[in-house]
Each structure stands twice: as C-alpha cells, then as structure tokens.
Amino acid sequence: MNVLFATLTLVTFFPVLGVLALLFVPEEQKDTLRWTAVVTSVITFILSLVMLAQFNPADPGMQLVIRAPWINIGSTWNIDFHMGIDGASLLLVLLTTFLTPIAIFSSWTAIGERVKEYMIFFLLLEVGMVGVFVSLDLFLFYVFWEFSLVPMYFLIGIWGGQNRMYAAIKFFLYTMAGSILMLLAILWLGTNVGTFSYTDMLGKVPAAAQGLLFVAFAAAFAIKVPVWPLHSWLPDAHVEAPTAGSVILAGVLLKLGTYGFLRFNLGLFPEAARQYAPAIAVLAVIGIIYGAIVSYPQKDVKKLVAYSSVSHLGFVMLGLFALNAQGIQGAVLQMINHGLSTGALFLIVGMIYERRHTRELAQFGGLWKVMPLYGTLTLIVTLSSMGLPGLNGFVGEFAILLGAWGAGGAGGSYGSVLYAAFASLGVILAAVYMLWMFQRMFLGKVENSANEGLKDLNWREVTVLVPLLIVIFWIGLYPAPFFHLMAPSVGKLVSALQTAAVALR
C-alpha cells in the first residue's frame, strides 16, 4: 500500500494539515482559528474510526502495518518508517483522537490570547501522541516520544497559571531525564540486536542483557506514568497547565508511560519483566495508597485530582505487572477509563474556575443548589472515578484486582496476595477523598456569597461533557466490545510472557 495514504499515516499526520491551515488564518479571527482546530481534530477522529473499521479484532498481531525505508545506508543503518497497531494501541489511539477535539472545544472561551499558537501546539501534540502509539520502529517511537514533550511544554509555559514557567521546565527536564536512558538502551538494541524494528526484535533480546535494558526503558516510562516516587512533577504541571492541557496530560500523556511499559518492557524483555514484577508491584501499591492519602487533604481541587491520578495509575501498573490476561486487559481498560474520568474531572474543575477564578475547596459549598446540572454531571464523573459498579471505573479496577489476585497465587508473578489486598484499600480510600471533595463543593448551604449568582452550564459545556459521559456509561454497562478488541493481542503477549516464565525456571 502507498505509505503516504495509508490509514495510519493519515490518522497520525492529518493534524499537520490543520497546522498549515492555521498558519494562514490571521491572528485576529479567533473564531476561525478555533473552528479550524476543532474541525481538524474531528476529522482526525473520524479517520481513526475508519482505522477501527479496518481493524480485525480476531487477529492478535500487528495490523494496518506500513513499512518503508527511512534511514537506510548500507548495513549500518536500517531505520524504517514502520507503523502498525494491535488491540491495545488501537484503543489508545481512539482515546487520543476522541479527547483532543473535546479538549480543544473546551478551551473556546478559556483561551482568549494567542489563540493561533495555542491551536497549533495542540494539534502538534496530537501528532506526537498518536505517533507514539502507532510506531513500530524504536527510532520512530523515540522521535514521537520526545517530540510530544515540546508542545506540552509550550502549552503549560505560555497559557498556564502563576508559576507556569517553573512547572513547564520541570515537566520537560523530568521527562527528558528518563528518556535519555531509554535512548541509550535503544541504541544498544540497534547495535546488538541489529535492528530498530520492534516486530523484528521480539524474542531476540538476550536474557542476560534484559535486566539493564528493562531498567533503562522503565526509567523513561515510570517518570511519565508517574510511578511513585517519581511523581513530583505531576502536581506542578497539572496545577499550572490550562484546563485543556490538563485534560490531555492526564488523559493521554500519562498513558504514553503505561503504554510504553506494556509494549516494550513486557513485550521485549519478558524475562526481566517477570523478575522485576514484584518490585514494580510494590511501587504501584505504594502509589495507589500514597496518591489517595495525599489527595484527601488538598485544598486545591485541581491538585486533588492530580494526586488521584497517581493513585489510579498505580492500579494500571499493578494490573500490567500481574502479567496475566485479566490484569493486563484490566490495565488497558483502566488507561481508557482514567482518560475519560480524570479528563472529565479536569474539565469540570476548569468550568468552575472560569466562573470563580479560584479552585480552593474552601471557597465553595452548596453549589448543587446554584448549578444543579453541573452538580449532577459532576456526581456521575466522581462516582465513575471512584469505581462505582455500573460505571466505567469499576470494570477496570475489578479486572485489575482479579489479575493481581491471580498473580499472588502459585506460579503468579508477585507471589503474594498481599498486593491485591492493599490495592483494594485504595478503592476505599478513593471513595473517601472523592466524596469528601464532592461534599465540600456541592452539598450544604451556599455560604460564600460569591457563589450565589453563578450560571449553570451552557450548551457548549454540556456538549463537551456529554460524549465523555456516554462512554463512561457504555464501558460501565457493556464493556464487552472493548475487551473484545484487545483480548487477542493481550493473549498473545501473555503467552509470550508465560513462555519466558517457563524459561526462567
């Protein structure tokens, strides 16, 4: 197939066309700029639906593969433009293309200055994120991985809050610190395995070298996720980022890390993954509980949601390193869930911030009486985030805990059910901090006179939230299609992991 017009190329690079169009729109025509960006991202989403239609869920391998020589010189350089998707990356691409238009649409009134640059950076960010999920060449992957840092750096640094420059540079340096070790590991693989192609490399990484390589890749991904204790950039970045930036940061960028663990740490280094599983699980459980405990006393709603991400992504990590089908499927679904629920929570925080210009919990109270629609929608999202049955969070967390329990049994990767037990504690704690937040914001009497005349949500804000809520209910009530999409790919990975486990004994 022609590489230029292949589905994956189009899905990845279509936003670039939008960027080119934006360059020719004058800065003053703000609405034209906004519409151009929204339409571009909606078309990208439609293209990703085409990709979904072309995807065959029964096939566990890489699909829609495109491969063309890129930097090929003699025998020393063999880097390809190599893309493809399996079930897991398909879902994550869909999450990205789904959240991007929502995020752009949500910045309609929040971003009033330098709209042009804002929209350009947002679309470039989408290119970087989708690129990471579809790359099958480690060099190409690294290019997208690093590239995605740059637009986010600008989004935080230009349109962020008071302390934005500090937060932006901290975000950048933290993430880059991790990636440079991964770069060395990629170079080592390219030299010693003789290829940069992920699919060609599978099963060929010598077991003796896997330990260090695993650590080098994990350094990059763990900072991005972030795994406790590498999370300290996250609250700063979230608090300073503009609302839409936070939505994408929590919704997609953090998943780049968990996706990296899934694709590379589990896929390329199965033996090492097996050996490191208990250690990572310990960090994951600490993250779950730490994130929950730290969320509770936060005075700033946004910071509370940010810390809750640390907790939620702890679940994802726990599920991934259970190394069994339930755990990994639950983890992939939970990546999607977290993107939806936390994305929605950041949107909700942004809506009240636009009205009151504060995010202090103490400033609110009794909002439900003033803004009933807002209150109802927030309640649903809150419940989804804490994992109430019938909503999306429950399904993912349940599968993860099931997997973790299995991993604690005989022959499992952790060797103890204590992990699952402690992680369950995190579910309870989530209920505590989420409900506490909801109670302080929405219940009781309106005590602050500034809150009295607040307008309820307008049509645009409802439009932003409704698609998220639909998917939240969909996954909660009927998750089968999502599992159906990823099950064969995850199954293939799990069987490779089991072969590795046998080899280790």
Partner 1 sequence: MTTSDFNAILPVLVLTSWACVLLLVDLWIPKDRKAITAWLAAAGLAATLAVVWLLSGFNLSGFGGMVALDGFSRFVSAVVLVAGIVVVVIAPGYLNQRQIERGEFYILLLFTISGAMLMASASDLVIVFLALELLSIPLYVLAGFARPRAESEESALKYFLLGAFASGFFVYGVALTYGATASTNFQQIAAAVAAGQANLLLLSGGAALILVGLGFKVAAVPFHMWTPDVYEGAPTVVTAFMSVGAKVGGFAALLRVFFTAFPALSANWAPTIALIAALTMTLGNVAAIAQSSIKRRLAYSSIAHAGYILMAVVAGGAAAFSQFAASSALFYLLAYGIMNLGAWAVVIALEKRDGTTNPIDDFAGLGAARPGLAIAMTLFMLSLTGLPPTVGFIGKFYVFRAAIDAGYMWLALIGVVTSLVSAFYYLRVVMVMWMKPGEGPVALPRSLGWVVGVMAVATLVLGVVPAPLMAAAGRALLSLFASA
Closer to partner 1 at the Cβ: 128 or 314? 128
- Check binding of 141 to partner 1 (CB under 8 A): no
Residue from 60, 87, 101, 157 in contact with partner 1 (CB under 8 A): 157
Give the separation between CA 452 and CA 441, rounded to whole angstroms.
13
449, with CB counted inside 10 A (0-12, 13-18, 19+), is exposed
Q: Dig out the tokens for 244 from the structure.
A: 């839409």
Buried b / exposed e over 196-220, threshold 16 CB at 10 Å, is bbbebbeeebeeebbeebbbbbbbb
Residue 409 DSSP class:
S
- Check binding of 290 to partner 1 (CB under 8 A): no
Candidates 160-168, 267-275, 398-406, 425-433; binding stretch for partner 1 (CB under 8 A)? 160-168
Candidates 157-165, 249-257, 328-336, 374-382; binding stretch for partner 1 (CB under 8 A)? 157-165
Residue from 73, 208, 410, 480 in contact with partner 1 (CB under 8 A): 73
Instruction: State the DSSP H helix or E strand holding residue 114, giving kind and residue range, or none if neither.
Output: none
- Check binding of 76 to partner 1 (CB under 8 A): yes
In whole angstroms, what separates CA 442 from the centre of its chain? Answer: 28
- Check binding of 21 to partner 1 (CB under 8 A): no
- Check binding of 150 to partner 1 (CB under 8 A): yes
- Check binding of 173 to partner 1 (CB under 8 A): yes
Look up tokens 């991005």; give the residue: 224
Residue from 47, 49, 52, 117 in contact with partner 1 (CB under 8 A): 117
- Check binding of 20 to partner 1 (CB under 8 A): no
Asked whether 110 and 160 are in contact (CB, 8 A), the reply is no
Q: How far is the CB of 187 from partner 1 (least distance, A)?
A: 5
For partner 1 (CB under 8 A), the number of binding residues is: 37
Q: Is the dihedral of CA 291, 292, 294, 299 positive or negative?
A: positive
Alpha helix locations (H) across 55-137? 87-106, 115-134
- Check binding of 176 to partner 1 (CB under 8 A): yes
Residue from 88, 149, 227, 333 in contact with partner 1 (CB under 8 A): 149
- Check binding of 200 to partner 1 (CB under 8 A): no
Q: How far is the CB of 369 from partner 1 (least distance, A)?
A: 40
- Check binding of 154 to partner 1 (CB under 8 A): yes
Residue from 180, 425, 466, 477 in contact with partner 1 (CB under 8 A): 180
Asked whether 377 and 384 are in contact (CB, 8 A), the reply is no
- Check binding of 164 to partner 1 (CB under 8 A): yes
Closer to partner 1 at the Cβ: 43 or 158? 158
Q: How far is the CB of 183 from partner 1 (least distance, A)?
A: 6
- Check binding of 118 to partner 1 (CB under 8 A): no
Residue from 14, 122, 133, 153 in contact with partner 1 (CB under 8 A): 153
Give the separation between CA 245 and CA 349, rounded to whole angstroms.
13
Give the separation between CA 464 and CA 353, rounded to whole angstroms.
16
- Check binding of 1 to partner 1 (CB under 8 A): no
Q: How far is the CB of 30 from partner 1 (least distance, A)?
A: 16
Residue from 45, 108, 133, 139 in contact with partner 1 (CB under 8 A): 139
Give the separation between CA 383 and CA 379, rounded to whole angstroms.
6
- Check binding of 4 to partner 1 (CB under 8 A): no
Give the separation between CA 106 and CA 36, rounded to whole angstroms.
14
Asked whether 113 and 121 are in contact (CB, 8 A), the reply is no
Candidates 1-9, 151-159, 202-210, 421-429; binding stretch for partner 1 (CB under 8 A)? 151-159
Q: Show contacts with partner 1 in window 203-262 (CB under 8 A).
A: none
Asked whether 381 and 348 are in contact (CB, 8 A), the reply is yes
- Check binding of 190 to partner 1 (CB under 8 A): yes
**163 contacts: CB under 8 Å, gap ≥ 6:** 236, 239, 240
Which of left, alpha, beta for 148 (phi over 0: left; psi -120 to 50: alpha)? alpha
Asked whether 239 and 108 are in contact (CB, 8 A), the reply is no
State the chain's maximal CA–CA distance in angstroms: 74
343, with CB counted inside 10 A (0-12, 13-18, 19+), is buried
Residue 443 DSSP class:
S
Residue from 142, 264, 368, 398 in contact with partner 1 (CB under 8 A): 142
- Check binding of 68 to partner 1 (CB under 8 A): no
Residue from 95, 168, 256, 437 in contact with partner 1 (CB under 8 A): 168
Residues forming contacts to partner 1 in the complex (CB under 8 A) are 70-74, 76-77, 114, 117, 139, 142-144, 146-147, 149-150, 153-154, 157-158, 164-165, 168-169, 172-173, 176-177, 180-181, 183-184, 187-188, 190-191
